[in-house]
Structure 1
């Protein structure tokens, strides 16, 4: 019996700045609004544009990077899977949500800020978030110190 494939690839522009949140355990959750536009000609030869908006969620380190470097207007490549969810709202009505759960993200183009993305300050993590040991403490403990840390690499 064959397995199914749930794969989404988007190349679009951010409609707003990333929305960063953290779980109680300290895991980052970044929500993006990505617009993709298709262009076609109608029967009369007029150009017609259609824009679709996609809600994209990035988790963990990928979410932290997106929240730090992405800005409204920036072009982005997203690869992941589509997720449909249903819940009951406070008014008792059933609501449906479609989201893209990203596995990969690449920053493209310059967006509004030009070709270079400057990191912004991160929102504070909850108190329960695990902290990394400083490089000096790793050296004292005998752990080999790598010249590059995960924080130095933006993707």
Structure 2
């Protein structure tokens, strides 16, 4: 089994399609890495990953907007093709098994460098219990456990 994990930004809004009675959410994620070449110049390398999320849980679709930062994981697939001028090409696609929203670009004019936390989706609900009150504690307040 091969699993690919990608953190990046959506290049455009997602598209929800219905294929043979099943829902699929299609979107593309761009991951950019910064590196220095042999001469010491800083360069950027962007890899685009086409994503297909086959799910009945399409409620996430309204949040998958251009610029949203996401974490996706799934099984990779390389597709090869021939262009009209005869050149060979390849594209990376990903069949998504898990998607998590990491944030959205702020709209306050900061140039997209700041992110607001977006909704987080997990498999099980998380329950947070309140800390016990001082009347519920049986130990003396000055007794430290170390």
TM-score exceeds 0.5: yes
Shorter-chain TM-score category? 0.5 to 0.7
Contact 1:73 1:112 (8 Å CA) reproduced: no
Contact 2:10 2:67 (8 Å CA) reproduced: yes
Partner of 1:73: 67
Counterpart selection for 1:57 from 52, 55, 65: 52
The structure with the largest helix share of the pair is: 1
Higher relative contact order (CA closer than 8 Å, sequence separation 6+): 1
**Quick check: which has more Rg, 1 or 2?**
2
Partner of 1:20: 16
The CA deviation string for residues 14-56 of structure 1, in whole angstroms up to 9 with x for no partner, is 000001111242x211111100001111223221101111100
* Cα distance in 1, alignment partners of residues 49 and 42 from structure 2: 23
Partner of 2:116: 115
Counterpart selection for 1:30 from 3, 25, 31: 25
The structure with the largest strand share of the pair is: 2
Structure 1 pair 42–84 and aligned structure 2 pair: CA distance change class (3 A): closer
TM-score by length of 1: 0.59
Return the offset for 1:99: 1.5
- Residue segments in structure 2 that go unaligned for 5+ positions in a row: 83-87, 108-114, 120-146
Return the offset for 1:98: 3.7
* Cα distance in 2, alignment partners of residues 95 and 28 from structure 1: 28
TM-score by length of 2: 0.62
> What SS class does the counterpart of residue 105 from structure 2 fall into?
coil
* Cα distance in 2, alignment partners of residues 81 and 65 from structure 1: 22
Counterpart selection for 2:39 from 26, 40, 44: 44
